[in-house]
Amino acid sequence: MTNGDTSVPTAGAEQRIDNAVDAIRNMSQDLTDEVAPRSTWFDQISAATREAPVQSLVVAFVIDVLLARRWCRLASRAGTNSSAARS
């Protein structure tokens, strides 16, 4: 065997190692994609809040006002119904 003959198997071995490394990287990336948590609506809202905090505060304020108005209406109706039941 000459020095040139031994380099051929070495090149083949390096190629096999490179192929194995690529295959392992692909498999680990696939596993990472499968194991990674899916994005929920809360994650999407959080991301939107980080991107546009002023607009998010305005939206939160408007939602809060709408909910407060609804709660006040429901509370006033409940008070009216209970006083009518007492008479």
| Res 1 pLDDT > 50 | no
Q: What is the average pLDDT score of the chain?
A: 78
Q: With contact defined as beta carbons under 8 Å apart, do 25 and 33 qualify?
A: no
Q: Which amino acid is at 36?
A: A
% of the chain exceeding 90 in pLDDT: 22
DSSP state of 83: H
- Per-position b or e across 57-71, b if 16+ CB within 10 A of its CB: eeeeeeeeeeeeeee
Please give the Cα distance from 19 to 29 (Å, whole number).
Answer: 15
Task: Quick: pLDDT tens for 11-33.
Answer: 788 999 999 999 999 988 888 77
Q: pTM higher than 0.75 for the full model? A: no
